[in-house]
Amino acid sequence: MHKDDQPEAAHGHAPGSACARCRQIKATHDEAARQGDIGTAEAMTATMGRHLRAAHS
Ligand SMILES: [Zn+2]
């Protein structure tokens, strides 16, 4: 028997949600922060800000 009572899953493109690029930027930021690379972490924060405006506005 298969499950027939699953709620419709999110389609993954809701405005404001993280896309693949968001996840890449965040992963780079988190890795830089983990390594103490503040310069790269701050650069990723700025990159994320521009990306959000460009792709999620
Ligand atoms: Zn994004």
Which tops the pLDDT comparison, 16 or 30?
30
> Is residue 40 over pLDDT 80?
yes
Identify the pLDDT of residue 11.
45
Structure tokens at 44: 């990723």
- Mean pLDDT, the chain, whole residue set: 84
56: how many CB neighbours lie within 10 A of its CB? Answer: 14
> Is residue 44 over pLDDT 60?
yes
The alpha carbon of 18 and the centre of ligand 1 are apart by a number of angstroms equal to 5
The alpha carbon of 11 and the centre of ligand 1 are apart by a number of angstroms equal to 15
The alpha carbon of 7 and the centre of ligand 1 are apart by a number of angstroms equal to 25
Identify the pLDDT of residue 12.
47
φ, ψ at 13 (rounded to 5°): -135, 30
The alpha carbon of 6 and the centre of ligand 1 are apart by a number of angstroms equal to 27
Segment 5-25, tens digit of pLDDT? 655 444 445 555 789 999 999
Structure tokens at 42: 């701050």
